[in-house]
Chain A
Amino acid sequence: GQQVMQIPQYQHVQEGEDFTTYCNSSTTLSNIQWYKQRPGGHPVFLIQLVKSGEVKKQKRLTFQFGEAKKNSSLHITATQTTDVGTYFCAGLEAGGTSYGKLTFGQGTILTVHP
């Protein structure tokens, strides 16, 4: 079945440093979504990418979808302590009949030291 691998598993940064997490799917994706889970909280939707090569920005966050629609990345510029949490990518397999069933990556736990 479809697998979504996400690296790194953990990332510790000093406040102000940049951060990137990468996501790779074993199959071509119809779309990819990114979620953030604050410590003790539940995952919250950040963004969805649909088009090959798509790049979207949300303030200090930049999201990319690969040309082959099998990989994606999230880059945070100048991290802040409010960025702490676990970032998940989630992909929907192209051509499937999975009724919106996403495959989540294992997540990257980001720690930001002030």
Chain B
Amino acid sequence: SQTIHQWPATLVQPVGSPLSLECTVEGTSNPNLYWYRQAAGRGLQLLFYSVGIGQISSEVPQNLSASRPQDRQFILSSKKLLLSDSGFYLCAWSTGTSGDTQYFGPGTRLTVL
């Protein structure tokens, strides 16, 4: 069966510090991968999605970046965090067929102070 992992679960970082969040998927090949951000009590904002290794599409201009160094690994990064980067970061995967269900990881709760 397929599983998705995200770490860390929680993170508190000072403004201006770098960020690296990792997401890995097991049990499937060539998944579509997604990074979302959710502010407290709000909806899901799609940040990046990837249909293959090295292929990243950015949805929202910001100081975040994403990379996919391996088929089932998706990394969200920042060189310098802003206060507004605080939120709940969710990674998700779907199969290669368009419109399939998205399966979410447990998320990383990031607080920037």
Q: Which of A30, A43, A45 contacts B99 (CB 8 A)?
A: A30
Number of residues on chain A facing chain B (CB within 8 A): 23
Q: Is A28 an interface residue (CB 8 A)?
A: no
Q: Is B41 an interface residue (CB 8 A)?
A: yes
For window 65-92 of A, CB contacts with B under 8 Å fall at: 88, 90, 92
Q: Is B104 an interface residue (CB 8 A)?
A: yes
Please tell me if the beta carbons of A45 and B103 are within 8 angstroms of each other in the complex: yes
Please tell me if the beta carbons of B32 and A99 are within 8 angstroms of each other in the complex: yes
Q: Which residues of B contact A105 (CB under 8 A)?
A: 43
Among B44, B49, B90, B97, max chain A CB count under 10 A is at B44
Q: Which residues of A contact B98 (CB under 8 A)?
A: 30, 92, 97-100
Chain B residue nearest to A44 (CB atoms) is B104
* Cα-based distance from A106 to B41 in the complex (angstroms): 10
Q: Which residues of A contact B106 (CB under 8 A)?
A: 41-42
For window 47-67 of B, CB contacts with A under 8 Å fall at: 49, 51
Q: Which of A30, A31, A44, A100 contacts B32 (CB 8 A)?
A: A100
* Cα-based distance from A109 to B41 in the complex (angstroms): 8
* Cα-based distance from A107 to B49 in the complex (angstroms): 21
Q: Which residues of B contact A98 (CB under 8 A)?
A: 98
B-facing mask of A100-112, CB < 8 A → 1, else 0? 1110111101000
Q: Is B3 an interface residue (CB 8 A)?
A: no
Q: Is B78 an interface residue (CB 8 A)?
A: no
* Cα-based distance from A107 to B88 in the complex (angstroms): 15
Chain B residue nearest to A6 (CB atoms) is B43
Q: Smallest distance from the beta carbon of B51 to chain A beta carbons, Å?
A: 5
B-facing mask of A20-43, CB < 8 A → 1, else 0? 000000000011010000000111
Q: Can you report 12 residue pairs joining A to B where beta carbons are below 8 Å apart?
A: A41-B106, A42-B105, A43-B104, A45-B101, A45-B102, A45-B103, A88-B43, A88-B44, A98-B98, A99-B96, A100-B98, A106-B43
Q: Which 10 A-B pairs have the closest CB atoms?
A: A106-B43, A42-B104, A92-B99, A104-B44, A100-B94, A45-B101, A100-B32, A99-B51, A100-B98, A43-B104
